[in-house]
Amino acid sequence: MNVNSLNQFWELVQSVWMEGFLGIDVATLITALGILMLFLILRGILTRIIMHQITFWTRKTKTTWDDTLVATLEPPVRFIPIVMGVFFASEYVSAEGGAADFFLSLNRSLVAFTIFWALMRLIRPLGQALEKGIRFLTIEMIEWSIKALRTITILLGGATILEIWGIQVIPLIAGFGLFGVAVALGAQDLFKNLIAGLFIIGERRFRKGDWIKVDGIVEGTVEHIGFRTTLVRRFDKAPVYVPNAFLSDNAVTNFSEMTHRRIKWMIGLEYGSTIEQLRKVRDDIENHLLNNDAFAKPDEVSTFVRIDRFSDSSIDIMLYCFTRTTNWGEWLAIKEALALTIKNIVEEAGTGFAFPSQSIYVENMPDAPELFPLQTPEQTTR
């Protein structure tokens, strides 16, 4: 090792130190990193200052939804010091040429990311405000709108950042044209279910929490209406993910939209019941329905208590009425009370309920032993 070699090594170290990264000397890069670290350290303080100022403005209003907006915006606000740190660090570097273009694109990208992130987070509280303020919009419509707006915001944000870095989005989309056609052909069911979901929400066939039944497909409670499928929870608590096309193309019974719940019984009385007993049972049941507020009145719904037919083992009284409640548990309790009342009415009338029975009438028995008369024919004619 000689003096020339040491000089060459020292010149190499100086060259690396002076050129650094993208023509920026290492000392400047270290200082820039220090500026960035300073903003990271002061991140909590800067966030509290910004949030305190925003909260001070919102306290002057009487509404509460703006307070929700402030809480929603806190994560993007916490990211602002990082953006500021990168900006001031790049400004200190004072890069030129390609390095200047790189830092400019980086700063613009971070600003665009923060703006679209904040917009995406603002969509949900705005949707909740619409839910309270606009009554003709259902929860499902608002949820779909929120999802669509969030997706659009993400796509616009991504396109903006790509444009900042010089990547043209429109030619890129055109380049994927043939691929998009192939995907569209293979995703026909996806688009069909998507359109079916829009029709379901637009027609308001059912909403979240409704009890529905589709013959041969599913019966249960709707928990979520998605873009492609609807989650229906069966009564055994098993989840069923039903494609929206099945719910759009088939008849859907929505039990939750019932105005009343029906009770239809055939009450079989014994054939030995008299006309007076039959009339008393019929009239007492009818009076009970008319005087009980749990049942809808005849001017609202059809209500019948009539002696209907002669069955094989009973005289049947048809009971046809509706309860005011549509809740299944309350309806079962009303039915139980009605059954006990009818049993008491039948017993007070002095008759009883019929049960299935058969009577056999024998005209002759050819294999039976012959019975001899106690008197001869001559004796009986005397």
Q: Is there a single domain that holds both residue 208 and residue 288?
A: no
Is 353 inside a domain boundary? no
What mean pLDDT is predicted for residues 372-381? 48
Q: Is there a single domain that holds both residue 147 and residue 287?
A: no
Answer whether 314's CB lies under 8 Å from 302's CB: no
Residue 264 has pLDDT above 70, yes or no: yes
pLDDT for res 41? 84
Is 322 inside a domain boundary? yes
pLDDT for res 327? 86
Q: Is there a single domain that holds both residue 233 and residue 274?
A: no
Contacts 24+ apart (CB under 8 A), 69-73: 69/122, 69/125, 72/121, 72/122, 72/124, 72/125, 73/118, 73/121, 73/122
Q: Is there a single domain that holds both residue 236 and residue 263?
A: no
Element (H, E) at 253: strand 253-254
pLDDT for res 13? 64
Name the 3-class secondary structure at 160. helix
For the stretch 115-165, pLDDT in tens is: 998 888 888 777 666 666 555 566 666 777 777 788 888 888 888 888 888
Separation of alpha carbons 98 and 64, rounded Å = 49
Q: Is there a single domain that holds both residue 143 and residue 54?
A: yes
For the stretch 42-51, pLDDT in tens is: 887 877 787 7
Q: Is there a single domain that holds both residue 242 and residue 267?
A: no
Q: For residue 213, give the CATH number of its domain.
A: 2.30.30.60
pLDDT for res 14? 60
For the stretch 187-227, pLDDT in tens is: 667 777 778 877 777 777 888 888 889 888 899 999 988 87
pTM as predicted = 0.48
- 80 pLDDT band, cuts 50/70/90, is confident
Answer whether 145's CB lies under 8 Å from 134's CB: no
Separation of alpha carbons 330 and 9, rounded Å = 92
pLDDT for res 138? 64
Q: Is there a single domain that holds both residue 15 and residue 148?
A: yes
Q: Is there a single domain that holds both residue 162 and residue 21?
A: yes
Q: Which residues contact 184 (CB under 8 A, 6 or more apart)?
A: 191
Q: What range defines the domain where residue 24 resides?
A: 8-168
Is 357 inside a domain boundary? no
pLDDT for res 290? 93
Q: For residue 308, give the CATH number of its domain.
A: 3.30.70.100
Q: Is there a single domain that holds both residue 267 and residue 322?
A: yes
Is 263 inside a domain boundary? yes
Is 288 inside a domain boundary? yes
Separation of alpha carbons 377 and 40, rounded Å = 131
* HEC secondary structure over 118-144: HHHHHHHHHHHHHHHHCCCCCHHHHHH
Burial class (CB within 10 angstroms; exposed 0-12, middle 13-18, buried 19+) of 269: buried
- The total number of structural domains in the chain stands at 3
